[in-house]
Amino acid sequence: MNNDTSFDDDKKTADSDSSDDSFVLYDLRVEVVKGDLPMICNHQVGDYFLVQGESLIFEQVKSFPMYAVATVLPFLPAKQRETDSNDWMTTDTDIACPDPHCGGRFRITRTGKRVFKHSETTGLPADRGTPYWHNDDKT
């Protein structure tokens, strides 16, 4: 077993071009599904919200429980990124409701890919360009 934990900060992935500052994130859909227990919290089967870039989009529901959102939030940035096919972040899609008595689950599904540029998303002053949300084309 290799226990080498060193990392090469300059290493690029095989599909990236060092002259291009773009990267890809998955769009996500987070939908309420029913597990084995009764649904007792304030989320209904079929309720969902979308994740596009850094934005949470609630196009279908007027409200979504704060604790449910807090439960899935730590997983969303990882789910947006490409992961190995054997990684649990790829294979495990359902997150349990934080109430141990509730059967609600939150299914995170990758729905598409969106290209971003580092210069449009970074906070680093030397690398900063026009933020992507100020561009006319928000795809």
CA separation for the pair 69, 63 (Å, rounded): 11
Residue range 84-107, pLDDT digits in tens: 999 999 999 999 999 999 999 999
The more confidently predicted of residues 102 and 16 is: 102
Amino acid at 53: G
Nearest to 118 by CA among 127, 109, 126, 110: 127
Query: Residue 118 in 3-state DSSP?
Result: helix
User: pTM of the full predicted structure?
Assistant: 0.75
- Determine contact, residues 25/92, Cβ cutoff 8 Å: no
Nearest to 47 by CA among 35, 65, 23: 65
Amino acid at 18: S
21-25, 36-40, 113-117 — most confident range: 36-40
Domain ranges of the chain: 22-122
∠ CA 118-124-125, rounded to 5°? 115
